[in-house]
Amino acid sequence: MNKFNSLKKRKKDLTFWQKIYIPEIFKGLAITLKNMLRPKFTMEYPEEKFIPPASYRGRPVLVMEKNGDERCVACGLCSRVCPALAIEVQAGETDKEKERYPEKFEINMLRCIFCGLCEEVCPEEAILMSKDYELAFTNREDAIYGKDKLLVPVEQLLDRIEFLRKYK
């Protein structure tokens, strides 16, 4: 505390030029003028949108492989771990190698809190947090996303997968 007291500038520590205040005014005006001539930081939405980095937790999406199948095996772990109870999964049988697939996979975007626990717990890397943050609905029914709105091709999610493998 003593160190900070001695660092505080008191009125008698000001130099003569600082006391008469007019040169300080000019210094302030010069700084503002310099700033007026510098480039601006505004991102003009909606023409320029902000692309978040890979670590951003946007809305959860299901990964769609190149042949059009989802990776999800409908184990139900994401539904159990979701703190907001936003995910509903109904499993069904299939002849493919993975033997299970989600007949119904619904995320209620009005309940989702974007925590990312479903992504952390998924054993198949089938549900990921994308970079999408622009969600606006006009009625409650539109907000319940089914499989059609949740499936996203894997090429768009590669940086998220890399981030997950490296850091989590």
The residues binding other proteins (CB under 8 A) are 25, 28-29, 31-33, 35-36, 38-42, 44
Q: Identify which of residues 20 and 135 has a Cβ nearer to other proteins in the complex.
A: 20
Smallest separation (angstroms) from other proteins to the CB of 49 = 16
Output the smallest distance, CB 23 to other proteins, in A: 13
Among candidate residues 41, 163, 56, the one with its CA nearest the CA of residue 114: 56
CB 155 within 8 A of CB 63: no
Which of 13, 44 has the CB closer to other proteins? Answer: 44
Residue 51: Cβ-neighbour burial (10 angstroms; 0-12, 13-18, 19+): exposed
Q: Which is nearer to other proteins, 29 or 85 (CB)?
A: 29
Is 1 or 36 the residue whose CB approaches other proteins more closely?
Answer: 36
Cβ atoms of residues 74 and 89 within 8 Å: yes
Closest CB 21 distance from other proteins, rounded Å:
9
Q: Return d(Cα 137, Cα 132) in angstroms, integer.
A: 14
The residue (of 6 and 42) whose beta carbon lies closer to other proteins is 42
Q: How far is the CB of 24 from other proteins (least distance, A)?
A: 9
Question: Residue 73 contacts by C-beta under 8 Å, 6 or more apart in sequence?
Answer: 98, 99, 100, 101, 124, 126
- Least distance to other proteins from the beta carbon of 31, Å? 7
